[in-house]
Amino acid sequence: MAAVAESKGRGAALVMVLYLLFLMLPIYWLLNMSLKTNAEILGTFSLWPKNPTLANYRTILTDPSWYMGYVNSLIYVVMNTVISITVALPAAYAFSRYRFMGDKHLFFWLLTNRMAPAAVFALPFFQLYSSIGLFDTHIAVALAHCLFNVPLAVWILEGFMSGVPREIDETAYIDGYSFPRFFVKIFMPLIASGIGVAAFFCFMFSWVELLLSRTLTSVNAKPIAATMTRTVSASGLDWGVLAAAGMLTIIPGALVIWFVRNYIAKGFALGRV
Amino acid sequence: MTLELRGVAKSVGGRVHIHPTDLAMQPGSMNVLLGPTLAGKTTLMRLMAGLERPTGGRLFWNGKDVTGQRVQDRKVAMVYQQFINYPSMNVYDNIASPLRLMGMARNEIDRRVRETAEMMRLTPMLERRPLELSGGQQQRCALARALVKGAGLVLLDEPLANLDYKLREELRVEIPRIFEESGAIFVYATTEPEEALLLGGNTATLWEGRVTQYGPTPQVYRAPQDAVTARIFSDPPMNFSTVRLSDGQAAIGQASWQADLSDGEYMAGFRAAHLSLEQVSGALPLNAVLESVEITGAQTFLHLRHGPDKWVGLIDGVQRRELGQELTVWLDPAHIYLFTPGGELARAAPYAAAA
């Protein structure tokens, strides 16, 4: 019996190791490349860097045309997250607490916004923002991403809010809390994990979205992802720097995931667990 | 401080939840709303609190019309069946929160919080969060928050329903004591007649959105105005049987007794506890078929069928009888209420009139 259990355990471990190997391989390869010179990347096949170098990272962190990409991305991502959450909180509260005509249809319609590919909106956004002078600004990208992030945030927050008994609202009113005060002091702490998860989803979407952010910017608000796709120069691709940029792009996402790791499953279920 | 409801009614989407209701509650009185679930106890309470707007009638507090006034300005307190506290604050802050909103001085808040916590026996738990407390302590915290601000109207919506038996007993004893100390109007909703009797004060019986009777609890219990009130205020529900009266003689089955009412058809009602398996002098013998037996420790519920009527008898001690058997039970006519076929009280049970 013990032998069977042991071999079973070993089989499971093997599958797990293989799985992790497949999962980590591309990331490892990216890291591997980022620490090599272009000559080594193109010239030889090596499982680890022969002459590890941080030159690629140095390039990115010292050259404004590179690091400003990160700064631009972070600016519009943070703007978008703040706007999305600020708008979604009252909307989600209304959907979770009040019944009004067409509420269910409206709620579903919100989600259908996410069903259209971003490319559909690229053209109208580009034309609209150009004509009102918002082209190539951070707020332009942040607002464009709201189209996708606000509905998602509303859905996630509504799920979390519906988990809070309505009696808490009423008790607070009876105790004398005004609505804004109740919302900030009592209600928001109760759905803090939901806000965290919603912010995470907004952050991630906005961070990885390429098409809209590239279409709506040229120089001043150019995101890192766009910078990375424009590194083809006369001397060919700069593989090492590109790999280093890729590594740095993963970091913010990984950091944010770390903070909401305990609630993320509930977030994927839109708070309805 | 008086609370007065004048013709207060509530309907939602064409469905009547509360029929026009008149009630006047005296200062410092304990008022029990008694009725089964969905009778409208909670709705009536929410109307009193101002959480819902009546669709008709007006509400007066100390003679002032408060219909439609914001909940925040009502200065009422309410405790729910679920233990509602602010989970993100500790017990101290929970109790202090209504006082802080009133803008009270810090040392005054501290004094009152500690005083109330002492009364609710929460002093050792002040630093804990509500979710780290037992159910009874959570409900006591909710009660403390309701009482600390000295509201003139305290609404308790089945506050003990979600507690286990022992805690319920414990709090049930405490509530009248708390009530005495507070001097406020208490409104207490419950589904259990026994609870209403223990709390005393006044009772309003509710049935399908209508207050069927309001008065001192013992009076409502002993002299219910109609069959519906009698049914609500008996646990297990009152037993009924149709009787014919002729020449001052009423008859159930074979048994008959003197009743000074005009001839005709009546509904006789009696409480389960008044049925007996032993012959008592003057009692009527009634033959019924035993359908099932429930034994609850020291008492036995006998479910009987008498002709078309289903009765429940509550007998002391453990009674083991064969099912399906015909059985003679005894009923003292002094315990029989007579209602008209329409359900109105024709004559209270003589024992109740004497008491």
The answer to whether B100 touches B175, Cβ cutoff 8 Å, is no
* Distance of alpha carbon B128 from alpha carbon B92, whole angstroms: 8
Mean pLDDT of B282-303: 89
Structural domain boundaries, residue B306: 236-354
Whether the link from the prior residue into B236 is cis, omega within 30° of 0, is yes
Same domain, B194 and B66: yes
* Distance of alpha carbon B287 from alpha carbon B329, whole angstroms: 6
The answer to whether B296 touches B314, Cβ cutoff 8 Å, is no
Same domain, B166 and B313: no
| pLDDT band per the 50, 70, 90 thresholds, residue A218 | confident
Phi, psi of A107 (to 5 degrees): -65, -45
pLDDT at residue A43, rounded to an integer: 82
Q: Is A67 exposed, middle or buried (0-12, 13-18, 19+ CB in 10 A)?
A: middle
Residues of A with CB under 8 A from a CB of B: 165, 167-168, 170-178, 181, 186, 189-190
pLDDT at residue A231, rounded to an integer: 64
Same domain, B277 and B172: no
- Tell me the per-residue pLDDT of B156-207, one tens digit each, with 9 for 90 and over: 999 888 878 887 888 888 888 888 888 889 999 999 998 899 888 999 999 9
Of B201, B229, B257, the domain-final residue: B229
Of B203, B229, B255, the domain-final residue: B229
pTM of the model: 0.81
Mean pLDDT of B99-116: 92
| pLDDT band per the 50, 70, 90 thresholds, residue B46 | very high
For A115, other C-beta atoms within 10 Å of its C-beta total 7
In angstroms and rounded to an integer, the radius of gyration of the C-alpha atoms of chain A is 23
Same domain, B137 and B42: yes
Same domain, B56 and B160: yes
Q: Which residue of B has its CA nearest to A188?
A: B88
Has residue A80 got a pLDDT over 90? yes
C-alpha triplet A29, A31, A36: angle, nearest 5°: 95
CA-to-CA dists, residue B116 to B92, B96, B119, B208, angstroms? 10, 10, 5, 37
Beta strand B185-190 with B30-34: parallel, antiparallel or unpaired? parallel
pLDDT at residue A268, rounded to an integer: 72
Check CB contact under 8 Å for B88 and A170: no
DSSP classification of residue B277: S
For B351, other C-beta atoms within 10 Å of its C-beta total 14
Same domain, B195 and B217: yes
pLDDT at residue A230, rounded to an integer: 67
Mean pLDDT of A170-184: 93
Instruction: Kindly list the domain boundaries of chain A, sorted by start residue.
Output: 63-268
Phi, psi of A150 (to 5 degrees): -60, -50
Same domain, B69 and B160: yes
- Tell me the per-residue pLDDT of A9-58, one tens digit each, with 9 for 90 and over: 788 899 999 999 999 999 999 998 889 888 788 887 888 888 888 888 98
Has residue A96 got a pLDDT over 90? yes
| pLDDT band per the 50, 70, 90 thresholds, residue A272 | low
Best of A175, A181, A190, A193 to mutate (most B CBs within 10 Å, chain B): A175
Residues of B with CB under 8 A from a CB of A: 49, 51, 71-72, 74, 76-78, 80, 82, 84, 86-88, 97-98, 101-102, 142, 145, 149
DSSP characters over B191-249: S-HHHHHHH-SEEEEEETTEEEEEEEHHHHHHS-SBHHHHHHTSSSPPEEEEEEEETTE
Of B229, B259, B284, the domain-final residue: B229
* Distance of alpha carbon B271 from alpha carbon B291, whole angstroms: 18
Check CB contact under 8 Å for A174 and B77: yes
**CATH code for the domain defined by A63-268:** 1.10.3720.10
Residue carrying the six token digits 């159910």: B135
CATH number for the domain spanning B34: value is 3.40.50.300
pLDDT at residue B22, rounded to an integer: 93
Residue carrying the six token digits 């002993």: B222
Mean pLDDT of B55-68: 90
Mean pLDDT computed over every residue of chain A: 86
Check CB contact under 8 Å for B101 and A176: yes
- Tell me the per-residue pLDDT of B212-269, one tens digit each, with 9 for 90 and over: 999 999 999 998 999 999 999 998 889 999 888 888 888 887 788 888 888 888 999 9
Q: How many domains does the structure of chain B reveal?
A: 2
Same domain, B224 and B245: no
ipTM of the complex: 0.82
Residue carrying the six token digits 């509500």: B130
